[in-house]
Structure formats: structure tokens, C-alpha cells
Structure 1
Amino acid sequence: MEPDDLFTDQDEVDPFGSPATLRSDLIKALRSGPIPDDNDLATAVALTRLVHGELTAFGTDGNNRLDDEEIELCQRALRATLGRHGVMLNLPWRDFNGFRSFWIQKGARGSWQARRDLLAGYFEPVWAQLDHLEEAQFRAVLAEPVSPHHRTGWLHVDEEIRELQRRFRSAATAQDYRDVGNRAVAVLEALSRTIYDPAKHLRDGEVEPPVDRTNLRIGRYIEDSLGGGENEEVRGVAKKVSELAHKVKHRPAPTRRDAGIAADSVILFANILRRLDQEF
């Protein structure tokens, strides 16, 4: 989310160019908790940029877009959003009028730069922590296969893997991490749907198992691809990967580590299965 996303889209609301208005309902929602399918850390950065920028504008050229009530709402939402990431920001004023009283008390009545310096004292530590968190999130990518290829070539499987990667990058709460488990299971079901061929893998007298019986369908694919005792180890991997994904999906409070292990396992397992089908 970017700072402009916190305002109405004026191209749709007012084509005559009147000022954009703050999306107060969205700001209130952010104060309560993360927005579904949103990158909460990116939103924390956007809110920090908005509040810092509005306070700077009010303290210098007066070109702030928000009023007293709106800046108070944004500051509260910012404190809550930052707090979800372990970043503390306690501003000793409630709104613009409070900020004016604060800078007068601190002897910054006649100096724009002094007001900027006052703000920097509160916001620079926040920016440093956000930079660190963003760098950590950037590094927290999921496993890549040893193959030089970046996809399996199985269209539906690759789509589900991309969605799993996207969801992991934006996950920030236990609920998000459970959804990563859901996405990991979806990759297994995409594999089940893709690689199991009744014409090849169904034995006489058997009924085709449903797609969600991934252990049975994938296990048969492995058995017919490798043959003999050589398939036992890979089938064991299949079972463990499935257990990991379902455990994260159903765990009451999974962590980012739990979700990452399950997601890494599923991605690597998909590429193991692809190696049974063709040599990279």
C-alpha cells in the first residue's frame, strides 16, 4: 500500500480535481488489525510516510492535506500498525494544534528547521527500524530448486506456487500463516490433479481417488515412475510434506517459521516430482 492508497481515487470520485479525501474507514480498520491480503509492513511504511509528511507540511509551509481530526486518526492507526511489527512511536501530541503547542514549548516558534528536527527525533528511529524490517522481509524468500528453471512447466502447479510465494511475502499474522498452509495444500492438490493419470496409474478394480487424497495419487505416480524399492524414500518425502502443510493449515497459531518450512517443502517437492517426469 502506498500513501495515495489511503485517499479516495479522485479520477473516479471527482473528475474536476477537488482535493482527495482520506479513507477514514480504511484508517480505522488498520487501527483494528491488518487488512486481508495486504502487506501490513508496506502499509506501516505508507502510514509513517503520510503522518510524517503531514506533520512536516503543517510545521513548515502549511500545505498539509489532513485536518486535526484526521491527523489524530492517522496517528492512532500508525501507532497500532507499527506496534504489530514491534516498532514503538509515542508522539507527545494528539493533533496539529497539539504539535504547534509542543514546538512552541520547545523553542521552535520561529524556525521551520527546528520543527523538522523535532520530528526527526521521533521519526528517524522508526524509519531505521522499518528499513531493517523491509530488508528482512525482502530476504525472507522461499526456497528455489537447484534447477536453473524457475518453474516446473506444469501450468496449474506453477500458478499455485506463485500464489503461495505471494501469500508468504505478505503474511504478518497467525491467520495469514494458516492461509500459507492452505496455499501449500493447494500446491499439493494441483500436483495431484496434474500428475495422476487414471489411464496410467489406476489399477484394475480400483476407483479413482479424489484430488484431495494427495498421498494416494502422488504416491502412485512416484511408484510407477521409479518402480521397486527405489520409490519408498520419495514416497516418504511426499507424506511428510503433506503432513507439514496440513499442520500449518490447521494449527491455531502458526509462526512465520512454521509457514516458511511448509512452503519451502512443498516448492522443493514439486520440483522433485518434476524430475521424475523429465530430466532438467
Structure 2
Amino acid sequence: MRADELWIDNPLEGYRILNREKIEGILTGSLVGIPDVDAAVALARLVHDEFETFGTGGNPYADDRMDDEDSARALLALRQVLRRLGIEFNPPFRDFRTFRQFWIRDGASNSYQARRDILSRLFDDIHESLVQLELSTIESTLSSPISPRGTTGWPRVDEELAELRRHFSQARTEQDFRNVGNDCVIVLECLSATVYNPSRHLQEGGVEPPVSNTKQRLDRYVEVELEGAANAELRKLARATIEFAQAVKHRGTGSRRDAGIAADSVIQLVNIMRRILPDLV
């Protein structure tokens, strides 16, 4: 389950509204067909994003955003589902209004980054715990990293990888396996958004490529982070993996073999990109 599934599209009006019925279902544990851990992953991401939007100048009362009452109910639902999963979560606020009061008391009145940091301290461990819990419930035949860490430490990437593994483990039909290809695209775009830093990776005079242009962004990341003759073979391996992941992600034959190849290549690419950083070598 993804955070986007907690919204209801209204194409005639051109905006989304919060799916309050699903929020209530998560709160009461009555959401049919959705395990608590899957619901918690999606809701934690939704709440984190919405409180960050509110805290950094976004309009929480726009048509496709929560209002104050929604924020209170969503936060309550998150606390309740986490309690059922045995995860402690006690935020020092209960809705948008009290979040504003908290950041004022905390000295974050003049800094959007300080407010992001407040939320990161509250939510990052929650995201990590949920991904680990989700992975522990998935019996998957997809590749796993050799690192003792079970996740990359990039919350959005880890969430999408867990979703990819879950969908592959549950896939039975041709349509199911084609949808695994869609998950691969989402993982690559999330990886592209995570590792590419315009201030470091954008060439002088260039235009930042969109997140969906994953090959260009990831290739530039490799070029910058693995520079020098000593890293030539590593660059070759990383670029070959990028090329392969791009080639197989749209193989739409609907077979378990092709879906598995696509998923394994994307997982391998994520772990190569993560291992490039010195703190996980």
C-alpha cells in the first residue's frame, strides 16, 4: 500500500480529497484486506509529508491537502496502528495547530529546515522500523544485499523496495507480473530523486533532468562519485547495471522470469548506488 492510495481522485474538479473512510479503517483496524504493517507504512509517509508541507509554507487547507481536523485524525490513526504493531510513537503535538505551537516553542519559527529536522527526528526511525517489519513478513525469492543492513537507509527507496518485494511474492497472474515492472519504474524514479543532487551533479550550464530521466541522472551520479582511473571498473559495472535495469524494466510479457529479472536488476542497482557512499562501504 502506498500513501497515494489514501487519497481519492476527483478528476472532474482537478484535485484530490483525503480518503477519510480508509483513515478510520486504519484507526479501528477494520481496513479489509490490508495488513496493519502495510497500512502503517503508507500512513506514516502520508502524515510525514503532510506535516512537512504544512511546516514549510504549504497550504494545508487546499483542496488536495489535509485540513486541521484531518491532520488530527490521521495522526491518531497512525499512533493507534503503530501501537498495535508494538512500535512506540508519541509525537509532541496532535494536529497542525499544535505542531505550529511546538515549533515556535522549539525555536524553529524562522527556519523551514529546522521544522523538517523536527519531523525527521520523529519519523525516520518509524519509517525504518516499518520497512524492517514489512520485509520480515514477506517471503521473497528476489535478491538481497550482502550488507548486514537490511535496508538502504533511504526511507522512500526502502518503502518502494518493500512494496516491490511484496507484489512479487504475491504475483500469480500475467497482469500481476506486469505490475511488478511498474514497481521497478517507481523504485528507479525514487532512487533518481534520492541520489541526484543538482548542486553536486549538475554540469555547469546544464539543465537539471527530470526525476523520470533516471538513466541520465544516475549516470551523472556515478560519473561524479566514482571519478578517477582507479574507479574505472566500478563505473563500468554501475553503468552496465543502469543500462540493464532500464532495458528490462518495461519487459511486459507478464512472466515470473522476466518480472524477477527486472526486479533483481533494480534491487542490485539500488544497492550499488548506496554502496558508492563511503559510510556504507
TM-score range, shorter chain: 0.3 to 0.5
- TM-score, structure 2 as length reference: 0.48
Between structure 1 and structure 2, the one with the greater Rg is 1
- Larger RCO, structure (CA 8 Å, separation 6 or more): 1
